[in-house]
Structure 1
Amino acid sequence: MSVAISSMFPVTCPVLQESNSLSSGSDGNGSCSNAGFSSASLFERIQKNVVGKVGKRSVMKHFVSGNSSRLFDNLYTILKERYPKNVAEKIISNIIKISLKLGVVTRENKLSEQLLDDLHSFQRCLKTLLLTVSSYGTLDFSYDYKYLKGLMDNVQIRLTHLTSELLSDKSVKRVGHIFHHLGDADFLDSALRTGAPNNALMKTICEDLDTLMENKSL
């Protein structure tokens, strides 16, 4: 999961409320086709609904790029092998919404010293998680589900805390939805276990993940 919060200002900030106006538009079936889904299009819809109302549109530049769009498109493909289309799209949508909203809030508002510490702690844990995922995705026979799940639980705890302080209860539920599905053992096995059905595509995802981290887009 990616949260591009490279610019922060050191006071608590107002809670950012969720909107109900976005829907996935998915048909909910389990088709293997990605017809009708585009992460770039989803970015644009969420931008208009969220960033256009509460923050500068320039925040989107951290999320819309060839690498990030391809990463999310490929992640959607893998998710759709495990879950129905509507669930897969909701997971991607929730990741984008949480990332954008936290990015907006941390850029547009001053945070208390404690919240800044909590944010930095989350960012460090997230970086460790992403580096581990990248390592598992590129190095054969390195995948360890229990260790990875422990890292994911650690990130979820910190992200849930930040979300409860800065966003809404609905956002907290979105975080739970994301990690419930991404942390599923069968899903992770299918993506990261050497020789698994989605292992080759996961390597492409990790390449884009590495590029985004190198460019400090995460």
Structure 2
Amino acid sequence: MASGKACGEVERTGKWLCAVCKKGGGVNSIQGTMCAEWVHQKCSGLRGSLTSVAAAFKCKVCTEGAADGGNVELDLGDGEKLEGVKTFCYLGDMLNGEEMAGTTENFSSKSLALKAQKKILSGMASRGAANLVVDDVTGSVLDELYRLLRGHLNSRKEAEKVIKDIIKIVVKVGVLSLHNQFSTEEMAVARRFKTLFHQLAMTVVTFYRVEFTFDRTVLMKHLETCKGLLHKLIENHLSAKSHGRVDHVFGRLSDAGFLTAVYTPDSPLCPALSRLCDGLDKLLDDDVI
């Protein structure tokens, strides 16, 4: 895509840094097809119309990096950076699982996850390769969690923020894992987290399926332990802002009032909890979590 007065399609690029000079992009800029970054015309080495070459333009950073076998730097956002590789991998394979929709009816965790993955992975491969497949069941579980949070908090904005934070954390941890950034000790923490999260999911389902078993202190303890392990896993890799997201998510999910409201018999939240448990059952059966 090209941006300029003579182009048929114009996009504001001032908030994006030029991939070459690192200054704000202006109206005479062109977008790289490999990195999806904007480049000033004067930094691109191009003369004449940008529109005629927009479909195949590759910036100097990408072409020179490919020529010398080097990698590109990947911006994770929030001041976090990671050296990216030229070979693209599907994030969903590692995970096992910013616009937000305006209403409950069209809110989609799957759509949000796809957007987050595209944004973070855009520097690793072409935009076409960034069209990732997000697991439908995991997306539906997050959608039901959103409905539970919105129903309890009576706040669409806050419910969306929790889901958005969950997705950002998962995507960033997935990217770090893809690039083998975790040490042996940190991988042991990750395995411990997965084991406890599996137990947490089973407990959530059991407390719903089996009458008179609900104990909110058990869920709160599981959530607190998982939070501590996640903080430990990302300690040497992600920013204080990401740690804040972890605290925000687990703070909401482990709130005693929220857990009590969710498991109250004949509560208006019961249908969403039922669907969430159906999704968790599927993820457990498929050994995704």
Q: Deviations over 1:78-130 (max 9, x none)?
A: 11112211110010111111111111211222432111111111111111111
Larger radius of gyration: 2
> Which residue does 1:207 correspond to in 2?
278
- Within a 5 Å distance, the mapping from 1:50-199 to structure 2 comes to 50-53=120-123, 60-61=132-133, 64-83=134-153, 84-199=155-270
Q: 1:150/1:60 Cα in 2 relative to 1: closer, same or farther (>3 Å)?
A: farther
2:124 & 2:186 partners in 1: Cα distance?
20
2:105 & 2:181 partners in 1: Cα distance?
42
> Which residue does 1:49 correspond to in 2?
119
- Within a 5 Å distance, the mapping from 1:30-41 to structure 2 comes to 34-41=104-111
Task: Return the TM-score normalized by structure 1.
Answer: 0.79
2:205 & 2:248 partners in 1: Cα distance?
22
Identity fraction in percent: 27
> Which residue does 2:77 correspond to in 1?
18
Q: Is the 8 A contact 1:55 1:104 kept in 2?
A: no
Q: Which has the higher contact order (CA 8 A, sep 6+)?
A: 1
Q: 1:58/1:130 Cα in 2 relative to 1: closer, same or farther (>3 Å)?
A: farther
1:86 & 1:53 partners in 2: Cα distance?
30
1:59 & 1:102 partners in 2: Cα distance?
19
Q: Is the 8 A contact 2:196 2:222 kept in 1?
A: yes
> Which residue does 1:30 correspond to in 2?
none
Q: 1:78/1:19 Cα in 2 relative to 1: closer, same or farther (>3 Å)?
A: same
Runs of 5+ consecutive residues of structure 2 not aligned to the other structure: 1-72, 80-97
1:120 & 1:36 partners in 2: Cα distance?
35
Task: Give the drift of 1:49.
Answer: 1.1
Name the structure where helix makes up a greater proportion of residues.
1
Q: Deviations over 1:179-206 (max 9, x none)?
A: 1111111211121233333123212101
C-alpha RMSD over aligned residues: 2.6
4+ long deviations beyond 6 Å: 55-59
Q: Is the 8 A contact 1:156 1:179 kept in 2?
A: yes
1:139 & 1:34 partners in 2: Cα distance?
29
Q: 1:189/1:207 Cα in 2 relative to 1: closer, same or farther (>3 Å)?
A: same
Q: Is the 8 A contact 2:220 2:254 kept in 1?
A: yes
Task: Give the drift of 1:133.
Answer: 0.9
Q: 1:207/1:36 Cα in 2 relative to 1: closer, same or farther (>3 Å)?
A: closer
1:55 & 1:180 partners in 2: Cα distance?
36
2:137 & 2:246 partners in 1: Cα distance?
23
Which sits farther off after the overlay, 130-139 or 142-151? 130-139
Task: Return the TM-score normalized by structure 2.
Answer: 0.61
1:188 & 1:55 partners in 2: Cα distance?
42
Task: Give the drift of 1:216.
Answer: 2.6
- The one-letter amino acid paired with 1:77 is R
